[in-house]
Amino acid sequence: MNEIIKKNHRIIFHVDMNSFYASVEMAYDSSLQGKPVAIAGNVEERKGIVVTCSYEARAFGVKTTMPLWEAKQKCPQLIVRKPNFDRYRKSSQAMFNVLREYTDLVEPVSIDEGYMDVTNYSGTLTPFQIAEEIQNRLKIELLLPCSIGIAPNKFLAKMASDMKKPMGITILRKRELSKKLWPMKVQEMHGIGTKTAEKLNTISIYTIRDLAKGNDYQLKHLLGINGERLKKRANGEDNRPVDPDSVSEFKSIGNSTTLPKDTDDERILEQTIEKLATSVSARMKRKSVVSRNIQLMIRYGIHHTVTRSRKLANPIEAIDQIKDAAMFLMKKHWNGEPVRLLGITAQELEEKDDTFKQLDLFTFQEDLKKEPLQKALQDLEDKYGKGVIKRGIKNQNTTDPNSLARITTSFQKDFLE
């Protein structure tokens, strides 16, 4: 059990906190220990949605995103708490501080999970003993349970941490893939959602083994470059380093357009921004990335260009979200003069697989409602071409001072800042 990986191979941990929000509430209120607990943004039964719940609640069939009224039908004794993000942020910081006592190579990927590279750990403990000690310390010192995956790379460590919950420690070696990983359904693989799984099913890929043995040409034709990447992951290949600075990496995807003629027509400018947001969103989705910063470029003449950006509380990829951020910047920084060129750039990109949207519980239900619509619109444009669906645009004579922007503010601040 202590012999993990051959020398010269990396030893990567994925530490995943169990039912984090609910566990933090239990840590602060001992009377909740061992009871079915749910966190919901709106505690009114008709409107509330379960954001997370304890394992005791899950035993009754309560699930994340379930309407609160339904959750209470399944578990009448369910205890519901409103979120306390300041409390969750402090617990997250304390958790990562413990991890950093074992190695400097700690990469947070969300408020409740992160990677560790302990390859060069200089102590006397074996990797499994390190994991045991971390798990015990988090449970005793912070009263927070976690599961830990141990593997030679980030992907396998992530898959391993999901195999035993709560309070599990799982080792996943490459030589064990055929036994532990490949029998799993393809939709259970990290990085594959329902839509991608359905596409893979069309070429008779139902398990991770099928994907690992899949035809390269079929996968590339079906999923593009992502097909090749997923096949490599299914075969246990992942060379990504554990990077403590990855949260501040600068990457970007942008698009700009020169208008047929300089204009100060607000309707035309809004339509142009929507087209740019659609283009940027499509490119982001193809690359499976999300953005934490949207930049708007406004050019009035040959030598007069203004560039402004908006830091986002939550990572985004959807057309409406990109448009909203750009329109906010437009309203704030456009001086009213005729515009020659507009450009939108999505900055601070992150791989979607490794990104966690810190839930904004004031818009959580709205996000859930929008997701099927966004997928339907994207599917229609993929099938019939861009422009098949025209979105409504507000009357430019509106007296609403915010007519150029629908601003969404998040309850949470980015815990990594």
Region at 118 (left for phi over 0; alpha for psi -120 to 50; beta for the rest) = alpha
Residue 61 identity: G
In the beta sheet, which residues pair with residue 67? 49
Question: Token pair 């947001």 is at which residue?
Answer: 277
In 113-261, alpha helices (H): 127-141, 154-161, 194-201, 208-212, 216-223, 225-234
Interatomic CA distance for residues 108 and 112, integer angstroms: 8
The contacts of residue 89 (CB under 8 Å, 6+ apart) are 111, 412, 413, 415
Q: Determine which one of 56, 107, 113, 266 is catalytic.
A: 113
Whether 112 has a binding-site annotation, put simply, is yes
Identify residue 310 by its one-letter amino acid code. Answer: R
| End-to-end Cα, the chain, rounded Å | 38
If 0-12 CB within 10 Å is exposed, 13-18 middle and 19+ buried, where does residue 131 land? buried
Q: Supply the angle between the helices 194-201 and 216-223 in degrees, to the nearest 10.
A: 140
Calculate the CA 263 to chain-centre distance.
38
Sign of CA dihedral 30, 35, 40, 45: negative
Q: Which among 285, 17, 264, 13 has a CA at the least distance from the CA of 147?
A: 17
CA distance 170 to 168: 6
Residues 6+ away with beta carbon under 8 Å from 62: 36, 38, 50, 53, 71, 74, 75, 78
Dist CA 101 CA 80 (whole Å)? 35
Catalytic annotation present for 70: no
Distance (Å) of CA 225 to CA 196, 220, 221, 291, 347: 13, 6, 9, 20, 21
Q: Are 370 and 378 in contact (CB under 8 A)?
A: no
Angle at 76 between CA 74 and CA 79, to 5 degrees: 110
Q: Which residues are catalytic?
A: 113
Binding-site residues, in ranges, read 16, 112
